[in-house]
Structure 1
Amino acid sequence: MDKEKLVDIIDYTLLKPTATRDDIRRFCETTKKYKFKTVFVNPFYVSYANELLKNANVKVGVPIGFSLGGATTKTKVTETIEAIKNGAKEIDMLINLGALKSKEYDIVKHDIEEVVKASSGLITKVIIETALLTEEEKITSCKLIMEAGANYVKTATGFNGGGATVEDVKLLRSAVGEEFGVKAAGGIRTLKDAEAVIEAGANRIGTSGAVAIISGGKAEGNY
């Protein structure tokens, strides 16, 4: 795949819990060097990253309910609103996995709907942690996500075991159709990995190893 096109669809991430302000500064400098279009940092650093990248035509995204998804809907909505005030331009929320496993689908859908509403038209992606779900649960998640008005289904955080597989991306693409967004994240470490999930149907990629992927190397970590 053309690397310029790949740069356009990569969400470059720095979400490790021990990231320092210096780490974020270096991360943003690298973002500008390689011309990534979107980055994701934890809520605490959204304002700082936005300030560092304000003249670079880069969107700062934020994970909501990270990294377990079990926060209350009110907490997720508050987190979303604050992140947007701090400059966030994309939202990646975690689905309520406990409610999903309990088959409390109205709760799952309402949770997503409220974050979508709080996002005020910003692109909203919903992380489902494919490694923790059955095939039926993955398909059900896609249905609920679409009905709730989000823009993407996303495979994983990379923090809870597993990550994006070709098989899961194909399944998600089949479940949502051709027009809806599918973001592959978790364990994408090489250019070959990236090309494989794109071929399977992903139209966004989330990875902390974006530089290695673009440079033809192999990244460390699973997120």
Structure 2
Amino acid sequence: MNLKQLAGYIDHTLLDPRASKEDIIKLCNEAEQHGFASVCIHPYHVRTARMNIKGQDTKICAVIGYPLGANNTAIKVFEARNAMSSGADELEVVINIGALKDEEETTVKADMSAIVGAGRGKKIKVVLETGYFDDEDILLGCELAKYANVDFVSTSSGFGPTGASLADVRLLAKTAAGSFQVKAAGDIDDLSTTIQMLQAGATRIGTSSGIKILEELRIRATTLR
């Protein structure tokens, strides 16, 4: 795998609430320079990102209902539409965690389906926050995600009890069966972990350490020459 290929799997992420406009501009410049798949940011920063992403290859992903997923669906839909009107290309929404724990299938399906409908063809990623769930809950979440026709299911927001685990990524990939793609996110900050997540079935990596990971690959390639 070369640098360009690896960069294409990465969502260059900055969800720190202290992020400034200058930080977002820097993030966008880095994303375009290195060829990352997207910048993943809070909705407030989408307009700044739109003004600073010059090309078409790096997308803008706005997080919705972050980080708890407990907003009412109408609020998530408004947030999604607002983010798109500001220039978001992708939406990443946290599932209603409490409703999934209670096995309120109708509520969870309706929540995800409403975002997909509001997205009007935009790429929709749903965060399961797998650290809160056992395998049975994760399987239920995946089945509901299939019903809602989401594009990706992500392991975590980065704010939950755990980040991505190889076991969870494998379970998501196996359950997806081509219905959705898998994003591994949370506690991925080195090349070895990134490669393991991709081998386990992830097709997108959420990390704030993308540049560091690419540098590790560059050094490895140089050493092997």
Which residue of 1 is the match for residue 130 of structure 2? 130
Which residue of 1 is the match for residue 39 of structure 2? 39
Q: CA deviation at 1:38?
A: 1.0
CA root-mean-square deviation: 1.2
Q: CA deviation at 1:22?
A: 1.2
- Which structure 2 residues correspond to residues 43-62 of structure 1 after superposition, within 5 A? 43-55=43-55, 57-62=57-62
Query: In 2, distance between residues paired with 1:56 and 1:74?
Result: 30
Q: CA deviation at 1:29?
A: 1.8
Which residue of 2 is the match for residue 96 of structure 1? 96
Q: CA deviation at 1:179?
A: 5.1
Which residue of 2 is the match for residue 85 of structure 1? 85
Contact between 1:32 and 1:56, CA under 8 Å: does it hold in 2? Answer: no
Which residue of 1 is the match for residue 222 of structure 2? none
Alignment length (residue pairs): 217
CA offsets, 1:129-154, max 9 Å, x none? Answer: 11111110000000000101111110
Consecutive unaligned residues of structure 2, counting only runs of 5 or more, are 218-225
Contact between 1:95 and 1:127, CA under 8 Å: does it hold in 2? Answer: yes
Give the 3-state SS of the residue equivalent to 1:71 in structure 2. coil
Q: CA deviation at 1:56?
A: 5.9
Which residue of 2 is the match for residue 69 of structure 1? 69
Consecutive unaligned residues of structure 1, counting only runs of 5 or more, are 218-223
Aligned-partner residue type, residue 187 of structure 1 = D
Aligned-partner residue type, residue 64 of structure 1 = I
Query: In 2, distance between residues paired with 1:45 and 1:21?
Result: 7
Give the 3-state SS of the residue equivalent to 2:12 in structure 1. strand
Deviates more, 1:40-49 or 1:53-62: 53-62
Which residue of 2 is the match for residue 106 of structure 1? 106
CA offsets, 1:73-122, max 9 Å, x none? Answer: 00000000000000000011000001111111100000000000000011
Give the 3-state SS of the residue equivalent to 2:8 in structure 1. helix
Which residue of 2 is the match for residue 151 of structure 1? 151
Contact between 2:129 and 2:157, CA under 8 Å: does it hold in 1? Answer: yes
Which residue of 2 is the match for residue 189 of structure 1? 189
- Report the TM-score, using the length of structure 2 for normalisation: 0.93
- Report the TM-score, using the length of structure 1 for normalisation: 0.94
Query: In 2, distance between residues paired with 1:123 and 1:55?
Result: 18
Which residue of 1 is the match for residue 120 of structure 2? 120
Query: In 2, distance between residues paired with 1:164 and 1:53?
Result: 28
Among all aligned residue pairs of Structure 1 and Structure 2, give the percentage whose two residues are the same amino acid: 36
